[in-house]
Amino acid sequence: MTFYDDLFRPDLSKFGLSRLGLSRLGLSRHWRLGQGLLGLSISLGLSLGLASLGLASGGIVLTPGTSVALTAAADLNIDVTGLRNQKGVVCVALFDGPAGFPADGTKAVSNKCFKIGATTQRVNLGQVRYGRYALSILHDENEDQKLNTGFLGIPKEGIGFSKNPRIKRQLPFDETSFEFASGSAPLKVVMRYF
């Protein structure tokens, strides 16, 4: 066993496998090559009688006769401008589809609040997989974790959305969605107050 094997030994028991089991199947050499994430094809062979075997861990998916697939991700930064004061927090909800958008943060893929340091605030949602998303942002001035509204449902606190649309009604996901990809610049969202 080499230093490399000790350092990068995967825990195969999570997948119902063992090194001995892979060795008996003649796959231990293939596993060692694949565990280094070199993008090498791992074929389990039809003679095993397995219709499919899916292993997922940290964005890596292994299936019979396919290559190791890596899901690309990067930090998603948002520049929030137009905050009317530094009270409370800025809450950012990131949605990957129309379900729950824009108000149900429980259905968001990321939902975080940040203390405000200036009326222009950069927030970082951390590692986000590349794809299509929409942002819903709340300036929660009283930190009660909800949008406070007046008698007619008009927001008393600031709100903002990706692509900065005019806000006349509840916006659909498609009107505010954006493509997050490699090299994407920080998004700019202007807060609106009524």
pTM metric for this prediction: 0.64
Q: What is the pLDDT of residue 116?
A: 96
Contacts of 188 (CB under 8 A, 6+ apart): 78, 79, 81, 164
Domain ranges of the chain: 3-70, 73-190
Q: What is the pLDDT of residues 101-119, one digit of tens each?
A: 999 999 999 999 999 999 9
Tell me the average pLDDT across 61-70.
52
Q: What is the pLDDT of residue 111?
A: 96
Query: Domain 73-190: which CATH class?
Result: mainly beta
Asked if the model's pLDDT at residue 149 lies above 90, the reply is yes
Alpha-carbon distance 72 to 128, whole Å?
Answer: 8
- Confidence band, pLDDT 50/70/90 cuts, at residue 61: low
The pLDDT mean for the chain works out to: 76
Tell me the average pLDDT across 34-61.
37
Write the DSSP assignment of 114-127 as a string of letters: EE--SSSEEEEEEE
Radius of gyration of the chain (CA): 23
Q: What is the pLDDT of residues 80-104, one digit of tens each?
A: 999 999 999 999 999 999 999 999 9
Q: What is the pLDDT of residue 65?
A: 54
